[in-house]
Amino acid sequence: MKNKERKLSEYIDKLNAGQKPEQHGKPTDKSELEKLCETVRKVRSLKEPDMPAGDYPARLAASVNKGLIRNNPENNKKRIWLTGMAGVAAILVMAVMLNSILPFGGASIVHAMEEAFREVKAYHGTLEIVQTNAKGEQSLQAELEVWANKEGYYYIKGLEGWQKGIVTANNGQRKWQVRPDREEVHVFPAFPDAYRFTFELGKEIQQVKNALSAKVVGEDTVAGRKADILEISPHNGRAYRIWVDKETKLPLQKQSAMQNALQYTITYTQIDFSGSIPDEFIAYSVPYGYKEIDTNPEQLVNSVEEVREIIGFNPRPPESIPAGFDQDGIAVAPGAGLSKLYYLEQDKGDRVIVVQGRPVGEFNAAPTAVLGKADNNIAEIQSPVYEDLGILGGGALYAGITDISSIRWRQDGYEYAVVGSAPLEKLAVFVHSLTGGSFEMPSADDQTSDAPRIEVPVDLEVEQSSQKGVDAGSSPWRLDPAFVAQVFVSLEMSPGGITGEYPVGYEELEVIRNNGKDAVVEVSGDKTPIRRVYLKRLIRQDSTGIWTVIGYDPSDNE
């Protein structure tokens, strides 16, 4: 009996893990266990299926192709030829007919958008932003003329609304805003660009691709063009809709969920695709009589020699520039004594900066950061950047820009940071090249040998509800393992609640391990008998997942 219970439990565990249970490959009988396994599958069918990753259609096609080749019997060449040729013809016909008959599913339309955008070099359109209140009353917020290209350059001019007459542009060298009302031109760093413009096509498609789900929910006509309506459920935040042009397969309109009784609809009332942005739009100039207000802490230079002359050291470039990237400029931030080597990934428009400066004080990693190792020192890994400590704090604002990640470490008497809009894996390639391969990035799959001596029971339902609260903007401290540990230790000391200051200070806590999924926080001082707090991201293992205390170690003399 016990064996059956265990087998059934293992069967459930296998299905929960998305794996094939061994019972599915074995001859089956009409035993009770088989009946119960079938009942498990029936109950599970109430849930939404566990869908494969976004690259599944491509992987599937490649595997199917291999399978078809394998199925061709080698010993019957005539048949191979006949079946092969007939098969090719049939598949081609099938593909063409399916494309014309079947409605696009969510996955295929996302793929189609990506493919269509791959062909676009630049676009020019008129963007309209309309606000709708809970009563259904609409008001035009802004009408903008938009020029944008794949390298991330853009020119936006307000035609109507509060931005009327204001021009915002970024040419990769600098970002600037022309304010006719004040006769001023404000200059900012080109990257990172905290606010680009809304409904940027490439970014929009990327967001849809990374979403939890995208499904076609209807059809509509927008600005005289027929469109499919897609409902997008992002990983966090509320579901929203986009309208995808049936002909161009590119987004035409986006509608946010109703939040705080307001909803925004952003529409390209006109859009066309061109080869480039005309030079006059992205050439920086200060109109006659206007005042230039330069808030850019960076100065562009032409060579590393100029860097040395200005800040006194030669910047260390990567041993080799990672594939797909080209060097895109050199800059210094004289005030902060930093060098900045810029790289651009031509295909995707992602930018990466290698920042270098002299270290000041001790190296402290942001408590929310994942910790790796570079050149045998701690490497602070943030994705996205929540805190700009050390050289991240000097020169440009990185923290709080959601698509910027960073890896920061010290090596050979300098502090380095690789910062960029590229995925963390690509930043890691730069770090590998800068450290001569001496870089370890922890994986959430890394198993820790550390286990708490005392386990803390966890109520997963409570945690799920807390995660929802944090997603909605409350209790952001749950994203910081040091803060969660501080609250836990403090409540252990004062179970009745905390009044006034926490009995254990934030500075007395140090995150000594964090792989993004598990964290260990060490408590210094002698105020509490707790030495180490063990935390886990139980609900979601990314930067938006809350930390939960799962155990602790008392001090040795306890």
Partner 1 sequence: MFGMDKPKKTQQYDVKSIEEICSATWEPLYRYVYFKVQNRQEAEDITQEAYVRVLSYSHKGASRPENFIAYLKTTALNVIRDRWRKDKRRGTEVDLETINPLEAAVEDLSEESSRRILIENSLKRLGQDQRRVIELRIIKGFSVAQTAGMMDKTASAIRVLQYRALQTLANILEEND
Q: Which of residues 97-116 bind partner 1 (CB under 8 A)?
A: 97-99, 101-102, 104-108, 111
Q: Which is nearer to partner 1, 2 or 135 (CB)?
A: 2
- Give the chain's length: 558
Query: Whole-number minimum distance, CB 103 to partner 1, in Å?
Result: 9
The rounded distance, in Å, linking the Cα atoms of 537 and 514 is 10
Q: Are strands 377-382 and 370-374 parallel, antiparallel or unpaired?
A: antiparallel
| C-beta separation of 355 from 338 below 8 A | yes
Would you call 381 helix, strand, or coil by DSSP?
strand
217 binds partner 1 (CB under 8 A): no
The rounded distance, in Å, linking the Cα atoms of 202 and 266 is 15
Which of 501, 497, 447, 477 lies closest to 549, judged by CA? 477
Tell which positions 398-457 bind partner 1, by CB under 8 A.
Answer: 457
Q: Of 31, 55, 76, 94, which one interacts with partner 1 (CB under 8 A)?
A: 94
3 binds partner 1 (CB under 8 A): no
Q: Of 80, 194, 239, 491, which one interacts with partner 1 (CB under 8 A)?
A: 80
458 binds partner 1 (CB under 8 A): yes
Tell which positions 48-77 bind partner 1, by CB under 8 A.
Answer: 49-52, 56-58, 60-65, 67-69, 71-72, 77
Binding mask 236-265 for partner 1 (x = CB under 8 A): ------------------------------
40 binds partner 1 (CB under 8 A): yes
**What are residue 554's phi and psi, to 5 degrees?**
-75, 165
558 binds partner 1 (CB under 8 A): no
The rounded distance, in Å, linking the Cα atoms of 452 and 293 is 56
Task: Using the rule CB under 8 A, give the single segment among 24-32, 153-161, 390-398, 500-508 that binds partner 1.
Answer: 24-32
The alpha helices in 217-298, defined as continuous H runs, are 279-282
Task: Using the rule CB under 8 A, give the single segment among 40-48, 145-153, 265-273, 384-392 that binds partner 1.
Answer: 40-48
Buried b (16+ CB within 10 A) or exposed e, 105-136: ebbebbbbbbebbeebebbbbbbbbbebeeee
Q: Which is nearer to partner 1, 44 or 182 (CB)?
A: 44
CB within 8 Å of 423: residues ≥ 6 apart: 405
If phi > 0 it is left, if psi is from -120 to 50 it is alpha, else beta; for residue 413 that is left
Q: Of 24, 118, 182, 226, which one interacts with partner 1 (CB under 8 A)?
A: 24
Task: Using the rule CB under 8 A, give the single segment among 90-98, 118-126, 232-240, 400-408 that binds partner 1.
Answer: 90-98
Q: Which is nearer to partner 1, 45 or 447 (CB)?
A: 45
Query: Residue 52 corresponds to which tokens in the numbers above?
Result: 């494969």
Query: Residue 42 corresponds to which tokens in the numbers above?
Result: 């029936």
Task: Using the rule CB under 8 A, give the single segment among 23-31, 265-273, 359-367, 412-420 that binds partner 1.
Answer: 23-31
The rounded distance, in Å, linking the Cα atoms of 45 and 47 is 5
Tell which positions 459-478 bind partner 1, by CB under 8 A.
Answer: 459-461
Amino acid at 230: L
38 binds partner 1 (CB under 8 A): yes
Q: Which is nearer to partner 1, 41 or 182 (CB)?
A: 41
Count of residues that bind partner 1 according to CB under 8 A: 82
Query: Residue 284 corresponds to which tokens in the numbers above?
Result: 């920086």
Query: Whole-number minimum distance, CB 539 to partner 1, in Å?
Result: 12
Tell which positions 344-373 bind partner 1, by CB under 8 A.
Answer: none
**What are residue 65's phi and psi, to 5 degrees?**
-60, -45
Query: Whole-number minimum distance, CB 272 to partner 1, in Å?
Result: 27
Q: Which is nearer to partner 1, 8 or 229 (CB)?
A: 8
